[in-house]
Chains A and B, each alone.
Chain A
Amino acid sequence: SQTIHQWPATLVQPVGSPLSLECTVEGTSNPNLYWYRQAAGRGLQLLFYSVGIGQISSEVPQNLSASRPQDRQFILSSKKLLLSDSGFYLCAWSVQAGRADTQYFGPGTRLTVL
């Protein structure tokens, strides 16, 4: 069966510090991968998605970036965090080219920027 992992589970970082969040998927090959942010009291916002290694699409301009160095690894990064980057970050995967495109979510990372 497929599983999706995210780490760390929680993170507290000062403004201006770098960020690296990691997501890995097991039990499937060549998945679509997604990064979402959920800010307090708001819905989910799609940040990035990837259809393959090295292929990243950005949905919103921001000081975050994403990379996919391996088929089942998706990394969310920032060189300098802003207060507004605080939130709950969710990674998700889906099978390729499925009409239903069901997405399966990881447990999330709670990021607090102080």
Chain B
Amino acid sequence: AQSVTQLDSHVSVSEGTPVLLRCNYSSSYSPSLFWYVQHPNKGLQLLLKYTSAATLVKGINGFEAEFKKSETSFHLTKPSAHMSDAAEYFCVVSVTSIGGGADGLTFGKGTHLIIQP
């Protein structure tokens, strides 16, 4: 079984300061990990994904995440927040079953990022 925990339901930062959104996962197998962003009343947009290549993954809009197996973490960071980053962020884990079936993704409950001017 797999699970994902987003440690903060809300994060508030000032514009221009660093962003850290925390995510821990558990998985019986080597996971694939994703971060998605959702702006109000919009679909989810893929920010980045980890698939057992480089542990530091760079995504769109200046975001990056580091896979740390020893800590079972996949935290999302950005050096300098912009007002347009205000949105809901979802950490997601995916594990391909032994049978290779079409597994759904397991979503975290989301972190609401607030950017203060």
Contact = CB atoms under 8 A, between A and B. Distances in A.
Interface of A: 6, 32, 34, 42-44, 46, 49-51, 57, 59, 88, 90, 92, 94, 96-97, 99-108, 110
A90 B88 CA distance: 15
The binding surface of chain B is classed by DSSP as loop
B48 to A, nearest CB: 10
Contact of B43 (A43, A50, A102, A107): A107
B102 interface: yes
A100 B49 contact: yes
Nearest to B106: A46
Given A43-B109, A44-B90, 20 more contacts: A32-B102, A43-B90, A43-B108, A44-B44, A44-B107, A46-B104, A51-B101, A94-B102, A96-B102, A97-B100, A99-B51, A100-B32, A100-B51, A101-B32, A102-B46, A102-B49, A103-B105, A104-B46, A106-B43, A110-B41
B44 A105 contact: yes
Interface in B94-117: 94, 96, 100-105, 107-110
A94 B105 CA distance: 11
Given A43-B107, A43-B109, A44-B107, A99 B96 contact: yes
Interface size class of B (residues with CB under 8 A): 20 to 34
19 contacts: A32-B102, A43-B107, A43-B110, A49-B104, A51-B101, A59-B104, A88-B41, A90-B43, A99-B32, A100-B94, A101-B32, A101-B94, A102-B32, A102-B34, A103-B105, A104-B46, A106-B43, A108-B41, A110-B41
Contacts of B100: 97
Among B51, B96, B105, residue most surrounded by chain A Cβ atoms (within 10 Å): B105
Contacts of B41: 88, 108, 110
B5 to A, nearest CB: 11
